[in-house]
Structure 1
Amino acid sequence: MTFQDPSRNTLKLKNYFDLPAPAKINLFLHIVGRTDNGYHLLQSVFQLVSLFDYIDLEELSDGKIERAGDINWSVESDLCWKAAKLLQEKCPDKGVRITVRKNIPDGAGLGGGSSDAATVLIGLNQMWGLGLTRQELCGLGVSLGADVPFFVFGQTAFAEGIGEVLQPVETEEMQFQIIFPGVRVSTAEIFNHPDLTRNTNLCTIANLKQQLHNFVQSPWGRNDLETVARSLYAPIEQAVKLLTPFGNPRMSGSGSAVYVAEKNLDKKSVKIPLPENWRQWAVKGLKKHPLWSWTC
């Protein structure tokens, strides 16, 4: 994997190509309560993995924010466009064309859209010379979505609150077999379901340390959203059954992707006959975001 280093840019208008936006999985996801305004409070460990979307940023001299690539929806609702508009408030004369090349499926619980927005924040902070810190970019990310701060944070994290309260944690080195069962899950549908568990007991980082270093053999916790998602989406149930012979399958986020964790970092994808439009990857856990050094 390569991407263009900004130090190589000598032209007045900069072009950054192939900026990586990694996917994430949730090693566990517990819903521990709700706020007065209805937001769900969670505890989770977010793990970056080596499945990437790629972002091109081409600086424009006319002050416009353009969005190209995968978009087939209103640009004003697009997270990458919103991320650029947030940063443009600090430099109104700057413009950019954002092109996203998707590999991470939408509605898979892998955080693709949030990761794309975070990479735009990180990349434009460099391109436009804004000098914002990682903490400041995380603060901006909260207004875009609960997962965006994690991707700016850029390392394995214990997450609390709505997902924006982050502390670094260490896990054993792992590889993950991921299956995307071809369906896009509505996060709102899962979170609003009356059968969702919303009172899982709180845990602490101190309690997690041993479990995270032995996660492959004994996956700790659970995904509180999984039971509801499996009941609503038959392909998720099917994916869990297909992966069961190879480990302890678990759904990521609100679904629909399902994974098993492995210690063998050179193992290829297990050969499972998959239905049409399903996808499968063997990916490694990442300790840090590939653009980690671009912020401080």
Structure 2
Amino acid sequence: MGFIVTEGMEFISGWGGKWPAPAKLNLMLRITGRREDGYHLLQTVFQMLDLCDWLAFRPVADGSVSLLSPIPGVPEQEDLTVRAANLLKLHTGCEAGVCIEIEKKLPMGGGLGGGSSDAATTLVVLNRLWGLRLPKQELMALGLRLGADVPVFVFGHAAWGEGVGEELQPIMLPEQWFVIIKPDCHVNTKEIFCSEGLTRDSKVIKMSDFLAGEESNDCTEEVCKMYPRVRDAMNALSVYAGARLTGTGACVFAQFPSKEEAEVVFQALKNEWLVFLAKGLNESPLYKKLEQE
């Protein structure tokens, strides 16, 4: 299958518009075992947020994939969006090119999935704009080759995750409000998962157990021990509500039933911390925009 950019392609619906790449939270994370290849077996719950990066795609005639403004410190060809577009081209034989513009709103290294979400939006949107028509499951499989969190963003719905996080089932969650603190540190995920003190034999639970209140994160103790600023952020947020770690962090969050309650906590913390106020979503805003195009 081969595609070549033609004159006027930029006027096709979607080209030049902005596409959301939402953040996510891990509302629970249990480590239930370890595979022979070293990957950990997990149970987790993902929920999207209305906090997003924004991506724009512009067709180019020479078949190249590039960024309008590369992220400082990240080689362009190693950027997940560039890798996603090139992987899609390789997988389908597509000859089209694209220049990608990323408007970063999500903090890097916080555990909110910004890079993975950017990659997923790239796969999903270019699949539409290039007319490739790959099914969602095929895009999810491609996404897994880019990173363990990419499939959930392609999936596009709040999800119960198992395996290494890629076995997903939709889950309906209250769309409540979150206050999220990003401590001024970057947690090394590999370091956490290699830690000797990490719990790796948590009991397997059911989705109903989570919905009944089982919200533990097996990484919390090790991350707080190794990263004092994460511990400090947990303590600061715990003054107002139950604070939890998302994934391996570094972001910590607390949940509130109303925007007004969350806003009070946001205002109280914003002078001392990098804080975000966001609403939980069951459906990704990416797919809502796709439906509107």
Among 263, 277, 281, the residue aligned to 2:276: 281
Asked if the contact 2:70/2:76 (under 8 Å) is kept, the reply is no
Task: Tell me how far 1:68 sits from its aligned partner.
Answer: 3.1
Residue 186 of structure 1 and its aligned partner are, at CA, apart by: 1.0
Instruction: Tell me if structure 2 keeps the 8 A contact 1:181–1:257.
Output: yes
Q: List, as ranges, runs of 4+ consecutive aligned residues in structure 1 with deviation greater than 2 Å.
A: 13-17, 205-209, 271-276
Deviation of the 1:106 alpha carbon? 1.1
2:225 to 223, 231, 243: 231
User: Which 10-residue stretch deviates more, 260-269 or 234-243?
Assistant: 260-269
Cα distance, 1:206–1:241 mapped onto 2, change above 3 Å: closer
1:143 matched residue in structure 2: 145
Consecutive unaligned residues of structure 2, counting only runs of 5 or more, are 1-6
In 1, distance between residues paired with 2:271 and 2:195?
28
2-side partners of 1:226 and 1:176: how far apart?
18
Give the aligned partner of residue 188 of structure 1. Answer: 190
Q: Does 1:96 align with 2:91?
A: no
Shift of 1:226: 1.1
- Matched-pair contact (CA < 8 Å) for 1:75–1:81: yes
User: Relative to 1, partners in 2 of residues 1:115 and 1:207: Cα closer, same or farther, differing over 3 Å?
Assistant: same
TM score, norm. by length of structure 2:
0.89
Q: Which residue of 2 aligns with 1:252?
A: 246
TM-score using structure 1 length: 0.89
Paired residues in the alignment total: 277
Which secondary structure state, in structure 2, belongs to the residue aligned with residue 28 of structure 1? strand
Partner of 2:49: 49
Separation in 2, partners of 1:70, 1:245: 39
What displacement does 1:164 show?
0.5
Q: Hey, what does 1:121 align to over in structure 2?
A: 123
Contact 1:269 1:282 survives alignment (8 Å) = no
One-letter amino acid of the counterpart of residue 234, structure 1: P
Name the CA distance, whole Å, in 2 between partners of 1:188 and 1:54.
28
Correspondence for 2:75: 74
Does structure 2 conserve the Cα–Cα contact (< 8 Å) formed by 1:25 and 1:47?
yes
- Helix, strand or coil at the partner of 2:17: strand
Q: Distance in 2 between matches of 1:269 and 1:140?
A: 41
8 Å Cα contact 1:69/1:101 also seen in 2: no
Q: Which residue of 1 aligns with 2:3?
A: none
What amino acid sits opposite 2:146 in the alignment?
A: L
CA distance 1:168–1:55, shift in 2 (3 Å): same
Does residue 163 of structure 1 match 2:165?
Answer: yes
Q: Distance in 2 between matches of 1:118 and 1:241?
A: 33
The unaligned stretches of length 5 or more in structure 1 are 1-9, 212-218
More helix by share: 2
